[in-house]
Structure 1
């Protein structure tokens, strides 16, 4: 994490760095998870995003050199085993902190392994983490923040609605996949956060571009197969 400055508290510095986009992939994923479980931190990030939005407008677009993409494309390998080789190389590089002889032996082993057929993966690895900022249909700031963790098959959701602001209704979270039919994920308490485990079938529908929405329902949630009340906020899942 970069040094934002000694005058900022740690939480403020992290929120500012996340808004600036200077965190590593692992730090960014951890920050998104925290936003989904910590409304106060999520509010800090949103405040920094608004504060820094004007800076983006001042940055002029830069046209890349004409030969840049051909040089990049020319450096890409077409070997199907390349990803396997890279993973094994990283493993051996981490292990070879001894002598040059050990490093040479490691590289020789990589060469042997690279000649083998790629392993057959029966179960595909979990996809990337995704998040969604659920914006009110009338515009304004996000009302809910959601993050989908494919490894744990769970949706983390945080309500930015002030607690007790609507005591006569429940807020219900819905996943709307490509077929357009809403699937209920459960109720979201105002001003609170929770983790919602989902089934394998539902996890298969939680793909990039799928929508998440929150509807205003009678106490206890919708009594029909879909929202029975108005949709208060909606957003799309995107990769973190």
Structure 2
């Protein structure tokens, strides 16, 4: 089945930086790029503003007792400034070790609450943001994927909460199920990663509250069935307005 195209590299990189899913090296690269490229800085700031409403859907997560003490013990003790900088980084990054669902959105909290970049982004009327939590279809109803749709950016951000490397001989395929239409493939998702997907107009027309997103387990390359998934659906969620 045809897949929606990915965003251009620069746009995807800006979205991933705003979402907070880059590693330390990539984040440093993004910050340097923002300093020298006003257009890229404007893209990052625009994504931060568009993702800000997701803050309302994030519940606070309490770290297990003693976790920050253990992290502090691993950091150099002779440089208080460096310790605090590293501690702040690890508090944001290490939260995924004990709360995968919160980790997928924690980066949004960190990035959106930073001082805005002093670059003006083009003004535009905001569209209706949608989000979805795709929960397991068997066993405990825990979230396996989270998604946010931004019509103004013509893009969907999908984050896998599965452990990296899961289903090594299989792939996870994302589907849009809208009304009576047959499922539409939106692409493959790597476990433990976030992906920004640029959506064509015909897919955007079907992105509305009540439509569903699903993830199936498929053989390498994705489903060969022209009518939809060939493997089991492992995650399912309904799009709702933010």
Q: Counterpart of 2:102? A: 44
- Tell me if the contact between 2:101 and 2:143 (Cα under 8 Å) persists in the aligned partners: no
Partner of 2:240: 238
Conserved 8 A contact 1:134-1:235: yes
Deviations 1:96-119 (A, max 9, x none): xxxxxxxxxxxxxxxxxxxxxxxx
Larger Rg: 1
- Residues 158 and 168 of structure 1, relative CA distance in 2, 3 Å threshold: same
| Contact in 2 for aligned 1:150/1:203 (Cα 8 Å) | yes
Residue in 2 that maps onto 1:200? 201
Instruction: Indicate if the aligned counterparts of 2:216 and 2:231 stay in contact, CA closer than 8 A.
Output: yes
Give the distance between the partners of 1:195 and 1:47, measured in 2 at CA: 14
TM-score when scaled to structure 2? 0.51
The Cα shift of 1:160 comes to 0.3
What is the CA distance between 1:180 and its match in structure 2?
A: 4.1
Q: CA offset at residue 179 of structure 1?
A: 1.7
Map 1:1-240; keep pairs closer than 5 Å. Answer: 28-29=52-53, 31=55, 40=96, 43-44=101-102, 127-138=127-138, 139-225=140-226, 226-240=228-242
Could you tell me which runs of 5 or more consecutive residues in structure 1 were left unpaired when the two chains were aligned. 1-10, 12-24, 49-123
Tell me, in whole angstroms, the C-alpha distance in 2 between the residues paired with 1:183 and 1:47: 26
TM-score by length of 1: 0.51
Which blocks of at least 5 consecutive residues in structure 2 are unaligned?
1-19, 21-48, 60-92, 107-123
Count of residue pairs brought into register by the alignment: 140
1:177–1:133 Cα change, 3 Å? same
User: Using the alignment, how far apart are the partners of 1:221 and 1:161 within structure 2?
Assistant: 18
Task: Give distance in 1, aligned partners of 2:127 and 2:180.
Answer: 20
**Partner residue in 1 for 2:73:** none
User: Counterpart of 1:58?
Assistant: none
Q: Tell me how large the CA RMSD over aligned residues is.
A: 3.5
C-alpha distance 165-156 of structure 1, shift in aligned 2 (>3 A)? same
